[in-house]
Amino acid sequence: MPLLPKSSYRPPFWLPNGHLQTIYPSFFRQFLPVVYQRERILTQDGDFLDLDWSYATAAKQGVKNELVILSHGLEGSSQSQYMIGMVQYLNQAGYDCLAWNFRSCSGEMNLSLRFYHSGATEDLQEVIQWALGKGYTHIHLMGFSLGGNLTLKYLGEQGAALPAEICKTVVYSVPLDLKACSLAMRNGVNKVYMHRFLKSLKPKIVQKSLQFPDQIDLNRFADVKTLYDFDDIYTAALHGFDHADHYYETCSSVNFINNITIPTLIVNAFNDPIVPFKSLPVDEIANLKFVYLENPKDGGHCGFRPFQLKNNVYWSEERALSFLNTDFSLL
């Protein structure tokens, strides 16, 4: 079923390509700050996760007590522009929001040898269980880029065992095929994104080596020239994978989406410079009951600045709210 044939997204004429549509929000979108309430929870392996809560600022018609759990992208955080924009818009629409930070992404290095990766669904599981303990009866999941892959993988792993309180999912700019996306960042202008990620990731390895001097090998640090190298030398080793290809194959959400059991919207732009359109499992999704794929012609990677900007609301935020408010029992 659900390949959505047409998208309503239109970019501004002065953002004519995927690169500009990707870069503009990161550098030029401005907000009033979200006043998060931070809560630190302990993980089962003795580490911690920092959860940032932001509560509804308006009453919501219909179901009360609804929560959206948001997962950010590679080297992002609850302070990423796409997270803040979504949280503010959903709060105004009556939804509580929980923007959680992956290990090492909250402004403080985590305690364990490992940190985070694209398939670390055990951490998302702990966040969800914590939220369920707060008494929420309707929970929606949302993810951006790496966080989208993590979210889809979690849904597929859970399958029919997914907690009944989890209702819908919206994810953006998802690297469903991790290897294809990693390799795409080695090409041409995409190297700009790759080097920006490495500029943030490599110092974390140095910091980890100070925490665990006998377990982090810096002898190959100079060999890290690409994101693939980083994953092959460090991500894989720190998280129990044999090598980068093993990590990518094990954690790519393309291998899990056929087991998703709740309404799920995947939004990936045709011109996303980080996620090649040819890497998306379009034919497979066409035969899935619960997964909807929307491919706007434009939008870039986690961009989606609208043609006409009103109240600083991006198209992606309006699209997410529309999907969350859809009553699928009537379809």
**b/e per residue 29-43 (b: at least 16 CB within 10 A):** beeeebebeeeeeeb
CB atoms within 10 A of CB 331: 7
Annotation marks residue 177 as catalytic: no
57 band by pLDDT with thresholds 50, 70 and 90: confident
- Pairing assessment for the beta strands 138-144 and 66-71 based on DSSP bridges: parallel
How is 50-102 classified by DSSP, letter by letter? EEEEE--SS--SS--SEEEEEE--TT--TTSHHHHHHHHHHHHTT-EEEEEE-
Say which of 54, 71, 118, 145 is annotated catalytic. Answer: 145
Annotation marks residue 301 as catalytic: yes
Residue spans of the domains in the chain: they are 3-175+253-330, 178-251
159-186, pLDDT tens digit by residue? 999 999 999 999 999 999 999 999 999 9
Q: Which class is domain 3-175+253-330?
A: alpha beta
pTM of the model: 0.96
What 3-state class would DSSP assign to 233? helix
239-265, pLDDT tens digit by residue? 999 999 999 999 999 999 999 999 999
Integer Cα distance of 259 and 264 in angstroms: 12
Say which of 72, 138, 140, 301 is annotated catalytic. Answer: 301
* 52, 100 contact by CB (below 8 A): yes
Say which of 52, 231, 272, 298 is annotated catalytic. Answer: 272
Q: Looking at the predicted structure, is the pLDDT value of residue 64 above 70? A: no
329 band by pLDDT with thresholds 50, 70 and 90: confident
Q: Looking at the predicted structure, is the pLDDT value of residue 305 above 90? A: yes
Annotation marks residue 243 as catalytic: no
Which has the closest alpha carbon to 194: 186, 202, 205?
186
3 band by pLDDT with thresholds 50, 70 and 90: confident
Give the pair of three-digit tokens for residue 218: 């810096």
36 band by pLDDT with thresholds 50, 70 and 90: very high
Integer Cα distance of 242 and 298 in angstroms: 37
